[in-house]
Amino acid sequence: MATVKMKGISIGFLVVVLIAHFAFLKAEIYIVTLEEDPVVSYRGGVNGFEATASETDEKIDVTSEAVISYARHLEKRHDMLLGLLFKGGTYTKLYSYRHLINGFAVHTSPEQVEILRRAPGVKSVERDWKVKRLTTHTPEFLGLPTEVWPTGGGHDKAGEDIVIGFVDSGIFPSHPSFAAHDSERYGPVPKYTGKCEVDPATKKSFCNGKIIGAQHFAKAAIAAGAFNPSVDHASPLDGDGHGSHTASIAAGNNGVPVRMHRYEFGKASGMAPRARIAVYKALYPLFGGFVADVMAAIDHAVQDGVDIINLSVGPNSPPAATKTTFLNPFDAALLSAVKAGIFVAQAAGNGGPFPKTVLSYSPWITSVAAAIDDRRYKNHFFLGNGKVLAGIGLSPATHFNRSYTLVSANDALLDTSVTRFSPSDCQRPEVLNRKLVEGKILLCGYSFNFVVGSASIKRVSETAKSLGAAGFVLAVESVTPGTKFDPVPSSIPGIVVTDVSKSLDLIDYYNVSTPRDWTGRVKSFEAKGHIGNGLKATLHKSAPQVALFSARGPNIKDYSFRDADLLKPDILAPGALIWGAWSPSGTDEPNYAGEAFAMISGTSMAAPHIAGIAALIKQKHPTWSPAAIKSALMTTTTTINRAGVPLQAQQYTGSSEEMTLVPATPFDYGSGHVDPRAALDPGLIFDAGYSDYLGFLCTTPGINPHEIRNFTKSPCNFTMGHPSNLNSPSIAISHLVRTRTVTRTVTNVAEEETYKISARMGPSIAIEVNPPAMTLLPGASRKFSVSLTVRSVTGSYTFGQVVLKGSRGHKVSIPVVAMGFKR
């Protein structure tokens, strides 16, 4: 009986364990915000704790006793709330958010979350969701070495002691772009208090002076079961490549040789090569990231004292708790970051060229679109019949004045049974006959496997090389809209023929020149060809152009996609074919697996250009607000390309898959393409702060004032009247009826100067400015008004510009967009 009883106890215990286990399996991650103020907005009132909020939107001293003690108080309150509501072991607190928002991330069951929702002091509970990842030549293209760096003491002083925080996939610390031993010694930066984690494998710190902070955030990913330590690395080490790339664009060392396959493609440099790098790893190779981890990374960046945050990340989908784009958790947290005096650059998104694809919405964020600069890489394949096929491929040429026999991978199979391996992809050398391929050009086919990443051009090159081929050609026989073809470095001659019609010409020539017997077996290979030199870049005056993939406006104010009275994107910067540092273990781009550098495209590459240039402005003007820096960047841009004609944007032709160039608009480029030299001396700035952004939210139609108070802990201020009156360096009116007059205030940041104000607009809307001229003393501010009147209703936006020309040579421009409606 005793044995039976023991079995009964064991079974009962097992049932309890299983119930607990299944309850845990049901658990999810939730972000909980509480009523009390976070550090950035706490103005006192809690007994024993001094106020921590700044009255002037300046950076908070995160090392002060007041900040440290109040932050500790908030964390204790989080722990107390959870401890009072739930038994230990039924939940896991992942993070306490104390500086930008007051709340925490918790891994618990849906049943316990309902108890949390009803608890006193709980403001909101939202289930976590995922986020996604949204340069040798660009410093010269932007004029940094000759026109910008010399004004601050040269490249070895450019960005000195400015700390840029990168919320990304980590960093490869031993890369030469981040080395500290080849430059003047880096001293301490007292304002920065961030931690440096130690590499678990080498036991060495990730920091070296250049890299001043390095932390990783993965508690939400681990709790969700998405984290794989062997691939994702439980450290700031970059297992993806993306984070190293963005950091090197903004702040990588100057003059780092970009060498691949025995060829040097130039010397790399960041925009601010002396700036410090603070790493906040929250993105991972296999799954992207979780909002709870990204929020923790941003919160720590502010707490640690960074000057600038670069954010090349955006949400996978709209949040559930708010329909307002400006109040999604990213933007709400970044509003607090800006309140703390931190400039934020964010990638606009890669959903172009379609309208309303911008994923960076708010006026306190600088949203960056991607441009193609003047450098192009092209190559050619010369057929034996005299035809020349254009293509791409960063590779050497085949032997001069010699043609080579073409052999298709499908005709070089060792065994026809291997067709299940898609042999035409040329990914597996073991299925091909070396005797047939050696000394010849291997003809391969571009399939869907290349689109999804299971095949790569790098692997084609390796296959051809291992078989002793003289080179390879990859023919693209079909393509889906949006497919990007970037040139890929190769150690042997190689080319991708991206034009479908040209690829068909190649295949037709090969078939005609390759006699076969009645079974289809090749009798002899008679097709000939040779590959040109694709290593040298050519410079084009048509640059810059808006890249096809770059996200477009109009901006939206809610997830019903209603237009906002705010222009996005804000600015255009280089973002196509950008060379940058890479992690040898990086998986983000299969074509650069195992390499030290990569040339990739995306608004993720454009944003760190702006972050680095903002560091140069911050260095020269240390007291400027984030809005002032943003204004300097936006009002000094250009909308003219190097050939002297208006900017163009890549776009699809009607319903076809052909890419063409069309006249670009502010919905493509915002204010225009960045001009770093002019941005350092803008003449005038349009300044704004936390209260102004609050007024923008409160006057935006459709936003519930209670929701605004819920997120900001501040009552609504309606004195702005209309969101288009926000003092931003752009004007957008999505629903113009009759006449609307908006006001702007400019502040002189140079010597006394007289400005003449002019305006132009498309014919369907009239525009007037008042006064026509004004004189400003140093530091003085003046208002001017812009009146827009509907002349005719066209059903589309009309574009224009307001220009302030100064007597000392300054030129300040702001874009205007409006859509007219009937009375």
CA distance 602 to 350: 6
User: Terminal CA-to-CA distance of the chain, rounded, Å?
Assistant: 91
Q: Which of 23, 160, 33, 158 is nearest to 96 (CA)?
A: 33
Locus of tokens 């996200």: 551
Q: What's the token pair of residue 81?
A: 């709330």
369: Cβ contacts below 8 Å, ≥ 6 apart = 348, 546, 547, 550, 551, 569, 571, 572, 573, 575, 603, 606, 668, 669, 670
Using alpha carbons only, what angle is made at residue 732 by residues 729 and 735, rounded to the nearest 5 degrees? 165
**Cα–Cα distance, 308 to 46 (Å, whole number):** 31
Is 168 catalytic? The answer is yes
Residue 34 gets which letter from DSSP? E
- Active-site residue (options: 37, 128, 161, 168): 168
Q: Is 530 a catalytic residue?
A: no
Task: Report the alpha-carbon distance of residue 52 to residue 70 in Å, rounded.
Answer: 8
Q: Catalytic: which of 244, 395, 461, 604?
A: 604
Name 655's Cβ contacts closer than 8 Å, sequence gap at least 6. Answer: none
DSSP codes, 179-225: -STTSSPP---TT----B-B-TTT--BS--SSEEEEEE--HHHHHTT
Query: Who contacts 707 (Cβ-Cβ below 8 Å, separation ≥6)?
Result: 322, 324, 327
CA dist., res. 548 & res. 567, Å (int): 19
Q: Which amino acid belongs to residue 515?
A: P
DSSP per position, 600-669:
E-SHHHHHHHHHHHHHHHHHH-TT--HHHHHHHHHHT-B-B-TTSSB-EEEEE-TTSS-EEEEE--HHHH
Q: Is 242 a catalytic residue?
A: yes
Distance of CA 818 to the CA centre of its chain: 28
CA 195, CA 206: separation in Å to the nearest integer?
A: 10
Distance, C-alpha 771 to centroid of its chain: 39
Taking the C-alpha atoms of residue 465 and residue 479, their distance in angstroms, rounded to an integer, is: 26
Q: Is the peptide bond before 38 cis (omega within 30 degrees of 0)?
A: no
H or E stretch including 289?
strand 289-290
How far is 87 from 703, CA to CA, in rounded Å?
A: 38
Q: Which amino acid is at 175?
A: H
Torsions phi, psi for 546 (to 5 deg)? -75, 125
What Rg value do the Cα atoms of the chain yield, rounded? 29
- One of 78, 216, 242, 245 is an active-site residue; which one? 242
Q: CA–CA separation, 133 vs 249, rounded Å?
A: 16
496 near 485, Cβ under 8 Å? yes
Distance between CA atoms of 65 and 67, rounded to whole angstroms?
Answer: 6
How does DSSP classify residue 171?
B
Per the DSSP assignment, residues forming a β-bridge with 167 are: 280, 311
For helices 329-339 and 690-699, angle between their N-to-C axes, nearest 10 degrees: 150
Counted residue by residue, the chain has a size of 823
Catalytic residues: 168, 242, 604
